[in-house]
Chains A and B, each alone.
Chain A
């Protein structure tokens, strides 16, 4: 019994981090039509920010890291990406790849490639029956769930969110309505970058921090975005849970390498069969058939 609760909690823990990264990726893909392969490296930036500020109170360091993320996003969008939007898909892919390499190398120069670590701000364990689980993870799970909930409300229930979804849907028509694509692009990339950085910062206490720590998150996050319907912002979150659920189930029977191989095989097959992804809203799904 405690074993299965353990598995469930681990699954929720990994899903939460992945959901945040996938939401951020989905936001960038939806609005800017860019596949951001630097996403994992942005998480790495978050982890090193927390490492650098390990002497500060955790919450303060987290806040500063988030602000660094917003500024970094703005800098990357205004400094690099806006020059390649009209150069096509490959150009934007290479640009974000380049950004990722620069970030990794800068981290390697500043912090060397040896593993770093930080202590979680909450060291206690929560006892659930026979099972103990780190308090920090539980708090982070709740925090990410609340953050994602707030972001989805912002996107689907406010006028700012409506403008954002409109410009994701049809950027030219949004401009005709008076919505500035440049401003929306910069804002979206900045916020999405900050979310990826924040995800890295939050999971930093549970990881060995190295310049390449984000790589292992990149592939599952992409699949989470791809299994969701294009342009949907709630989709990647549910996609993350679905991908992680499949992975957890496979891991129960297989070793990690086999489980990953089969997971990615299944996802590749799924995307080949259903390139448009799954429509998560049953109402829309019914209307579209």
Chain B
């Protein structure tokens, strides 16, 4: 490569890397004193364990708060000790006595004895069985969300506490609904006729197979309800005159509305795609899971109320993200020390390659919706970083070995690369295949690890086999002492 071409390429490459580093890593307050320029890394979604989903939403001192939300589902007739004590505070003595007689303490909770039978400090067997079914139901529902870090626990013996990552609170209320699934059809919910009932003589499964969520090509989220032949016929019959007088189909779980569909033409199909235009992925998924579990899941007679919604800070500790950045800093420094000591100025070729790899990864984690910065994805990135470093070091060593035999630098690089090209290619392809195919099957934490491992392995392969060689070529054009530039030495022979 000529010196002019090399100078142009080097300048462009330097500007590109500087620009990428600027947008990816630098955050600062703007001169107006009120606004902040946030880097891509700051705006990248963070795992609930590390920080808020959007790093820009840190507190006044700039720390990531992170975490997620919890809510507690109390069965109807059960209240927390806090609610019991708060209620007592505003009562007269007479009201207090009546209230105290009405409620009995069971563990850390208070039970309304008008609604739930309590014997010897414990609820009756029916309540216990109903609660066990409800726990099974809620666990299955939250698991079906396939969200990282979701957690369901039995709280104070007879309440259910759920945890979801930040900003996914849309699931709390719909997933608390219990009862039979019914479909009503009419002009309003109160007067609508039940067209798919839950009777003793027939099950709702005679009408509905289940429900699931789908996202259209335009990004619209749908709840898809699959009907049986009987269900399809029931809906077709009810909506026969919809073209003349519009009505609404009410999909209910217990007394609560799971979905509503405005109908202005006859519906006669096996699967109904329903979107209200405001569905987020989580809200659509929650509605689908609610309907599906009401049809096919565990049954409970208990109704639940959602209270005590709290937001939690980073679960792994408030500075966990900061320490991960420090760990990366140590890794980066160690990498530079090795490359600069062993390969002198040739280390700049690796540095440029690595910075492109780093910025590319940050941009992908930011731009790809299902990726977030987490311990798993950070580990995938670190493993791929090692692969890139080893790959670059292998190419340098191959060229060093060729140079030692007396070849010119250009010939050494060419021969060195040709000797290890297919080996490095195979390693990268195999690992990328393993990562991507694991991603296709796996669920949350493992899938994001696998996908990022596959993606960064591809970046590593491109970096080692293409970009690093290009960087090497443009950097070497200037130096007359190419061996010293790379810290490569000729083999000493006895003749010399």
A, B assembled together? no
A interface residues (Cβ-Cβ under 8 A, vs B): none
B interface residues (Cβ-Cβ under 8 A, vs A): none
